[in-house]
Amino acid sequence: MPGVQQVEHPVRQHHAATFLEPARTPRHRGAQREEFWVVECHALASLDPRLPVVNPASFPRRVMNLRPALFLLALTALASAAFASREKPVIGLSLDTLKEERWQRDRDTFIAEAQRLGATVIVQSANSDDTRQVRDVESLISRKVDVLVIVPHNGSAMTRAVKSANDAKIPVIAYDRLILNAQIDYYLTFDNVKVGEAQAGYIVPRLPKDRPARIVRIYGAPTDNNAKLFKQGQDNILGPLIKAGKIQVVHEDWALDWKPENAKKIMNAAVTKAGRNLDAVIVSNDGTAGGAIQALQEDGLAGKVLVTGQDADLAACQRILRGTQAMTVYKPLTKLSHLAARIAVEVAKGGKPAATSTLHNGAKDVPSIFEAVIPVDKDNLLSTVVADGFHKAADLK
């Protein structure tokens, strides 16, 4: 990709090998290997508009007489370099992880749009490690990026890193996941409560009416504020029915770090505890739905129990067509990533783009934008995900 230098290094991702039901296209076959490649993009030195250090005392003796003139020249160069920095901003993008399919698409489409707008992007991915992500953000700050865009692994652990950005006067945009108790400038995301409502709302009318329905609930990572919002949305729909005794939650748990293998363990525990007589499993995303479905498959229950998801991952869309997953929630990622790139560039240039909403993060009302989400099942897969070009029809088979 022009404007970025990619440095690849392997990181062990044991879960990727055994628990992800691999999507059947060459692009995703790599997920079956033990090694998972994290790609970091670093700005090329020549494109990095960081200011040069000029020391006039170091000029050679024969140009000594010219020193004042040269110094002035250097100052002019410095001023125009600073100006160039605003015209061609450098964006630091700090990602929690690249292990789910969606984040790779977020990264690629964000970089493409930022470059189209004349910006350079430095990308770091923390492999779901808080200490590493704080270090990533601090390194981006020390490289004097003009703006930071952060997808936090842990909304609370990032508070400290944002404080460092505030001290360095670098604006911060929280992308998809909120950063708590911190002075951030924007929060750009999807309507996460609506995601949860879409998941539970899809299941409820399909549950048996003649007896209390028996469901399992698998939430996301407890460190991710979004996971709580998805649960909140599900609660909005399920709460009254649970209270009325129409739905019985036979088992529930949080899947640490959104790992499919953790979801599989939760599903195994649910069957052990509550038996095979289950009507639905409300799972918060497609990756963990894959883990839960693997457990159901081992028990001969896949396709017999309704399972939800989120992200419209290719493997999930294939499962929907095969009938082992009932639905997913499609989030048009390019809409969000392009919006974020535009806002990042504007903010880097000193602008204050308008937000459509605010959300309190414990420290302030953060100017926010919530993009809409679309529930998808086998009936509208083609008219949404495929029609949008998110996946090719041929890849779904």
Applying CB under 6 A, the residues found at the interface with ligand BGC are 100, 102, 176-177, 220, 224, 226, 258, 285, 310-311
Q: Of 97, 103, 16, 20, give the one whose Cα is nearest residue 318.
A: 20
- By beta-carbon proximity to ligand BGC, the closer residue of 85 and 234 is 234
User: Residue 114 CB, nearest distance to ligand BGC (Å)?
Assistant: 21
d(CA 200, CA 242): 12
DSSP track, 125-182: E-TT-HHHHHHHHHHHHHTT-SEEEE--SSTTTTHHHHHHHHHTT--EEEESSPPPSS
Q: Are 264 and 219 in contact (CB under 8 A)?
A: no
Pair type for strands 147-150 and 172-175:
parallel
Question: Are 345 and 118 in contact, with CB atoms under 8 Å apart?
Answer: yes
Number of C-beta neighbours around residue 293 at 10 A: 30
DSSP 355: P
CA 335 to chain centre: 13
Nearest approach, Cβ of residue 71 and ligand BGC (Å): 51
Sequence-ordered list of residues with C-beta below 8 angstroms from that of 327, at least 6 positions apart, any chain:
198, 199, 202, 308, 309, 320, 375, 376, 377
Residue 258 or 370 having the CB closest to ligand BGC: 258
Q: In angstroms, what is the minimal distance from the CB of 312 to ligand BGC? A: 10
CB of 33 to ligand BGC, least distance (A): 20
Name the minimum Å distance from CB 96 to ligand BGC.
7
Closer residue to ligand BGC (CB): 88 or 102: 102
What six digits make up the tokens of 60?
Answer: 């050679």
SS3 of residue 28 by DSSP: helix
By C-beta, is 102 or 391 nearer to ligand BGC? Answer: 102
Residue 261 CB, shortest distance to ligand BGC, in Å, is: 14
Cβ at position 91, least distance to ligand BGC in Å: 20
Q: Which is nearer to ligand BGC, 111 or 255 (CB)?
A: 255
Contact predicate 176/371, CB 8 Å: no
Closer residue to ligand BGC in complex, CB, 258/390 = 258
**Nearer to ligand BGC among residue 220 and residue 291 (C-beta):** 220
